[in-house]
Amino acid sequence: MQAPIAVFGAAIVLRAVFLLALRENYDLASFRLVAEILERGGDLYRETDRYNYAPLWAFVLRGLHLAAALSGIAFLRLVGFFLLAVDGLSAVVLFRICRDRGASPAQARLAALLFFANPVSVLSSSYLAAFDNVSLLFLLLAVWFAAREPPRTAGVVASLAASLLVKHVTIFHPLLLLGRREAGARRFRTAAALVPYAVFFASFLPFWSSRDAIWRNVFLYRSLAEPYGTDPLRFLRGVPHWSQLAIFLAASLAAVFLLRRVEFARACLLLFLVVLIFSPGIVQYYFVWPIALGALFPSLGYLVYTVMVSLFLIHSPDALAVELPHLPGWSGPWWALVFWLLWEIRRLQRAVRLPAAASPR
């Protein structure tokens, strides 16, 4: 009991140090710009190309900006506090998921700690101030509702919709509801899978006059081009420019189909691994996506990925930028993802073989 408390306390201290040392980066400057546009009644999508999401996060930023003005606390500091609180809530949800799955209190605390003290999580939200963790919190809530007895279908659907509204990093995850009992009776499964998308698209209706800017800044946004994954295809003669996107969509939809019989929590994790392996664009903090779900299924793959991405972030010029020789570049996290995915596939195959071997002949 003493060791987990000490590690949790150390994680709190480290996150607090990062929070106090937080400086305005590109994303934080974009957050401030978005809040100011809304406060003066400007056009969110036409006045800047630095906002690439549904409107909800912009209104959260406006609220934080107003709170900063009223309290005298720096806006970037309030954003940091907010993201830290979100990670704390995610740790609590992970604890509850583990307990509902029959884990002991010690095992549940370990899962929460594996996420909260994970250096990838710490660096992404407490140092880079990435808000992906807000979307991931709602995905964890969806997993929790799906694991209840009986499953809370409305909670699953509402949480997935909220996840998309914050940041559509879970764009394929609602499709996992198709064909599984967490989505209710068979005739409701398709509707349950489509509701989050309907809510996501409906959120843009108040901004219908800016639809061309929304299409350009949100739906055509492709992150950054880096020497990662399928990016080298861009330089091959005769390969169409849309090949990366086509491979990404085919791989993601194939994963959704193949994971339809896998437990929802594990399916969500594996889908993230596939999405990151085939992503046509990448940013450093995208690597936090599978960290929380991975804490539910700790393995050698999870450890290798955590170590590799942590070293990458330490070396990355957009993160800590520590000048140490032989630290991994973009290929390091990509190969770690491939290893983790293969490791999880092996675990699934073993889980299928064991019940078959135990069944009577």
Q: Which two tokens stand for residue 127?
A: 């140092």
Contacts of 89 (CB under 8 A, 6+ apart): 137
pLDDT of residue 318: 63
The DSSP secondary structure of 92-108, one letter per residue, reads: HHHHHHHHHTT--HHHH
With contact defined as beta carbons under 8 Å apart, do 92 and 84 qualify? no
pLDDT of residue 120: 96
With contact defined as beta carbons under 8 Å apart, do 120 and 291 qualify? yes
3-state SS, residue 314: helix
Residue in the structure block whose two tokens are 């071997």: 357
pLDDT of residue 330: 87
pLDDT of residue 356: 46
pLDDT of residue 321: 54
The beta-carbon contacts of 89-96 under 8 Å, at least 24 apart in sequence, are 89/137, 90/115, 90/116, 90/133, 90/136, 90/137, 90/140, 90/292, 91/115, 91/116, 93/137, 93/140, 93/141, 93/144, 94/140, 94/292, 94/295, 94/296, 96/144
- The domain locations on the chain are 2-351
pLDDT of residue 328: 74
pLDDT of residue 338: 97
pLDDT of residue 129: 92
d(C-alpha 113, C-alpha 101), whole Å: 17
- Please identify every stretch of the chain with a pLDDT value under 70, giving residue numbers as ranges: 1-3, 181-188, 316-327, 352-361
Question: Whole-prediction pTM value?
Answer: 0.92
Q: Which two tokens stand for residue 276?
A: 């990151």
